[in-house]
Amino acid sequence: MTNIKAKKRFGQNFLKDESVLFKIIESMPINDNHIVEIGPGLGDLTKKLVKCKDVTAYEVDRDLYAILQAEFIKEIDSGRFKILLGDVIERWGDNQSLYNSKYDLIANLPYYIATNIILKALDDDNCENIIVMVQKEVANKFSASAGDKDFSALGVITKLVSKKSEIVITVPPESFSPPPKVDSAVIHIKKDMDKKVDDEFKKFLKLCFCQPRKKLLKNLSNDYDKTLLENIFDELELKQTIRPHEVEASLYSHIYKEIQNGRKHTTSTN
């Protein structure tokens, strides 16, 4: 089973370090949620997951799918494990969920789409916990707080829709076969199931961070009236010189609301 050649185009770096696999299992919350795994690969993590709970897995690689079907035949027959062939991003589709009731996403993600997967999972109403291995750089972005140099639109979104977001363990390249070129980390995001951000707000954040080292006011004045912005900054007691990474996540919601209110006001009085 292990002499299969890893396919670069599918981001295949198989996790072989037992202590890291154990740490992932240990960090799983105790709850009744189903487990969804993206990219079970050769099944090393899957073997441990199915011992704990029922698992649904999505695998894009046809060869691995066939191997996994044979390897987990008993668990598939008993209904403990279900494997679906296909690109998980397509499966998500428009407003679709990866599972029809509450689930936790536990996975060693393919790095080329890791950011996209986390964003989709944050949007998925049925997903409650995200415990995933990603590039360390990506984990830093999703766990950053205001003031950290890594605080970006991803950090703002995560803070607004989650109760916690923290790095569980950092993992060196040698823990994988073949080893990736970068350091990795497992991140645990526990979502606040009552909170969501919409696409318009995400577009607004993109503008806020369009030039991350410039002043926030400067970035926003690309699209909005400067006087309106200066008034909003004064009202919220924000320095006009503040940089995007220095602003608390909750303040982004306030600025956004104030801009919408201010624009409505301007159009209705014109």
CB atoms within 10 A of CB 118: 25
**C-alpha pair distances (Å), 87 with each of 93, 113, 232:** 10, 11, 44
- Rounded to a whole number of angstroms, the minimum distance from the CB of residue 262 to ligand SAM is 42
Asked whether position 108 contacts ligand SAM by CB under 6 A, the answer is yes
CB 126 to ligand SAM: min, Å: 18
Q: Which is nearer to ligand SAM, 108 or 219 (CB)?
A: 108
Does 209 interact with ligand SAM (rule: CB under 6 A)? no
Q: Are 12 and 43 in contact (CB under 8 A)?
A: no
Q: Does 25 bind ligand SAM (CB under 6 A)?
A: no
Segment contacting ligand SAM (CB under 6 A): 106-114, 166-174, 212-220, 238-246? 106-114
Query: Which of 4, 10, 137, 150 lies at the binding interface for ligand SAM (CB under 6 A)?
Result: 10
131 binds ligand SAM (CB under 6 A): no
Residue 124 found at the interface with ligand SAM (CB under 6 A)? no
The token duo for 146 is 């205001």
Q: What is the DSSP string of 217-265?
A: HHHHTTTS-HHHHHHHHHHTT--TT--GGGS-HHHHHHHHHHHHHHHHH
Residue 197 beta carbon to ligand SAM: minimum distance, rounded to whole angstroms:
24
Q: How far is the CB of 161 from ligand SAM (least distance, A)?
A: 23
Q: Does 140 bind ligand SAM (CB under 6 A)?
A: no
Binder to ligand SAM among 49, 64, 130, 153 (CB under 6 A)? 64
Bond preceding residue 179 cis, omega within 30 of 0:
no
58 in contact with ligand SAM (CB under 6 A): yes
Q: Which of 85, 72, 13 is nearest to 43 (CA)?
A: 72
**In this chain, which residue has its C-beta nearest to ligand SAM?**
39
In what side-by-side order are the strands of the sheet with 103-108?
81-85, 55-59, 34-38, 103-108, 127-135, 184-191, 162-171
The answer to the question of residue 110 lying near ligand SAM (CB under 6 A) is yes
Contacts of 1 (CB under 8 A, 6+ apart): 42, 67, 71
DSSP designation for 178: S
Q: Which stretch binds ligand SAM (CB under 6 A): 39-47, 96-104, 196-204, 261-269?
A: 39-47
Q: Does 165 bind ligand SAM (CB under 6 A)?
A: no
Contact 106, 6 (CB under 8 A): no
Does 12 engage in binding with ligand SAM (CB under 6 A)?
yes
Interface with ligand SAM (CB under 6 A): 10-15, 38-42, 44-45, 58-61, 64, 87-89, 108, 110, 113
